[in-house]
Amino acid sequence: MGIRIGVLALQGAFSEHIDAFKLALQVLDPPGHSSVIPVRHADEIPDLHGLAIPGGESTTISRLIDKNQMRRPIEEFEGGIFATCAGMVLMATEVDDSRIRTLGLIEMNVERNAFGRQRESFETDLVINGFDTPYHAIFIRAPVVTSCGPRVEIISKIEKGIVAVRKDRHYAIAFHPELSTDPRIHIRFIQGLGV
């Protein structure tokens, strides 16, 4: 059966996610029965196996999720969610910005823009649990997880805080795996969807 991935396309870096998922699916499903679509309507969500929430502005994406009546379909989504950067902020139960209504799908506290102005953007080689070589990660005005619940798996941590977590089929990642050419994180997410 083909794997159906959707990328929330309300604001932010969604086209890069579409390309990155296509690349990962070429590796996992060479016959090409799988699909990756931009998601702009709430009724597109329940049919998917996986949904990406991209980077962008978490304040804006939070507002647009409500405006497009997507909050319930996302909260009730039975597949896996792949949330990066602003997406990580939205997955949290708590965030240090009252303008954002989070989805609360991963029990964690998140600090927005945790690296401040001086290190707005940087690249670093990260140790990621389960990968035998480092992963070259691109951080852009990234959040960090300051604490998380006992059922949340910490996948990667740096001095400043936790930068990647998994909860069941959901992943939240502070950096931008869609901007690197390394498909390992996307592949791991897709393999965990149980399709």
* Catalytic choice (17, 85, 111, 148): 85
CA distance 87 to 94: 13
> Counting contacts by CB under 6 A, is residue 20 touching ligand GLN?
no
For the question of residue 85 being annotated catalytic, the response is yes
Structure tokens at 172: 């939240």
Nearest to 165 by CA among 182, 146, 191, 184: 146
Shortest distance (Å) from residue 69 CB to ligand GLN:
21
- Closer to ligand GLN by CB, 37 or 138: give it: 138
> By rule CB under 6 A, what string of x and - marks binding of each residue 148-187 to ligand GLN?
----------------------------------------
**Closest approach of ligand GLN to the CB of residue 17, in Å:** 12
Task: List the beta strands (DSSP E) in the chain.
Answer: 4-8, 35-39, 50-53, 80-84, 94-95, 108-111, 121-126, 135-140, 144-148, 153-158, 161-167, 170-173
Q: Which residues pair with 80 in a beta bridge?
A: 50
- Locus of tokens 């304040």: 59
For residue 86, state whether it binds ligand GLN (rule: CB under 6 A). yes
The residues annotated with a catalytic role in the active site are 85, 176, 178
Chain residues binding ligand GLN by CB under 6 A are: 55-58, 85-86, 89, 112-113, 140-141, 143
